[in-house]
Structures are given as structure tokens and as C-alpha cells.
Copies of this chain bind each other. A is one copy, B any other.
């Protein structure tokens, strides 16, 4: 049985996490943290009597194995330190940690002898796509990325597409994209170290990414589609199950996908 504290339990992801815990046989909710939980009666939140509700980090937390954090950019750093100090392994889905904060947390985790996982993307299909793309690029250095999102997404390319390009470029031999002549500017897309990235924005679409590899007489394509954030819960479950096998505070769900 894995004993879990959820930080940010009143938010949308926090609520989904409570549902996940309820549905998973070997998960047990033992605590729930939120600075604005002024009422510390667990029944008020529809939770079991023995769940500790707390709203500040001076409270001594109940004994737990994993601290799932879906709190706020402002709170996540202190939350993570608190979890590590109490030897509870943090699984952090909250965004907003700076590079310096991540470095500090890694050092502190080592000091405390407690591992953990910081997860920028809980979507398993996206994480697997990146993992496979990185592996395929060893054999197919010719690669382009197409990402497709709803029309309201202003920035292009998407963070996941850029992250995919970065991971591919780590293993890819310096290999520029082929020469070209654009008769209409921008046709060949954005350029990340020779990897061309194309961003489509259309209503109806949600969040999709394709990595296209081409070689003499053959092609390989990996595609992932995210339709909604329910998909993240599968990633949370894996993170919680696997964080115990880590030796240090690690970044990226791919590190616990064997």
C-alpha cells in the first residue's frame, strides 16, 4: 500500500488525483494539503475521517510515502522542500520551478537521502513519442516535426515539439536539413539545429504531434493525440508506482518508463 499526501487537493488536477487514488487498489490517501483549507475537517471535503487535512508547512505531516504536488508556481518550491525534509518522495506536476530551484531541490534531496520526480508532462503518449523519436533518430537522421493545436494556442512551436527537437538533436549526428529555396517565406518551417518544425493551428484540433522520419525507400512516423487532461492520470499513477525505485530527484517521466 502506497501512502499518499496530495498538495493542491482542491484544484482541478488535485481533484482528479483524489479520484485516481480512490480507484487504485494499492494507493491510500493519508493527507491533503492546501493553504486555503481553513477547515481541517476531512469530512468537509468528502474525504475519509483518517485523512489529515493541513494548511501550513509547520504542521507535522502524517507518515507517507509519496507527496503528489499539483499546487501553484508560488508554493511548489517550499512544498517540495517540506516533503523532502520529511522523507516523503515528491512527485511534482506543478509547473513554475526555475532552473535554479530545480538545482537547489536536487541538492537538498541528496542531502536528505530522499528521491523524487519532477514531471513537466504526465501525458504518456507524449512522453513515449519523445522517447521513441530520440531512439529512431539514431537510425534516421532525416526528421521533421509537425504539431497541431487548437486555434487559441498563440505560441508556435509548442513546448512539446521543441522539447522533442531538443531530445532528438542530442543523439542526431550534425545533419542539416536539405538545401531549399522558399518561394513563399516560412514554407520550410522553423529550424532547430537542422530539424524543421511545423505548427498547425485549427479549430476542432486539441493537441497533437507527429514526428516524421524518412530514409532510402522507407518512412517511420510517430504520432500522439491528447484529447483532454484525463490522460495525465495514467502518468501520475506510473510516477507514484515508480518513484520508489529512483535514487535521486529526477526530471522527466521517461526516466521511470523502462
- Chain A interface (Cβ within 8 Å of chain B)? 123-126, 128-129, 132, 135-136, 138-140, 142-144, 146, 148, 151-152, 154-157, 162, 177-192, 196-206, 212-234, 238, 257-258
Contact = CB atoms under 8 A, between A and B. Distances in A.
A198 B204 contact: no
A223 B226 contact: no
A203 B190 contact: no
Nearest to A147: B187
A53 B187 CA distance: 46
Contact of A200 (B135, B196, B229): B196
A125 B125 CA distance: 19
Contacts of A155: 180-183
Contacts of A136: 128, 132
Contact of A225 (B123, B196, B219): B219
Contact of A226 (B196, B202, B218, B227): B218
Contact of A156 (B132, B187, B226): B187
Contacts of A220: 124-125, 128-129, 222-225
B183 A157 contact: yes
Given A187-B199, A204-B215, 7 more contacts: A125-B220, A143-B202, A156-B184, A187-B189, A203-B214, A203-B216, A215-B231
Nearest to A208: B219
A214 B204 contact: yes
Contact of A180 (B154, B227, B229): B154
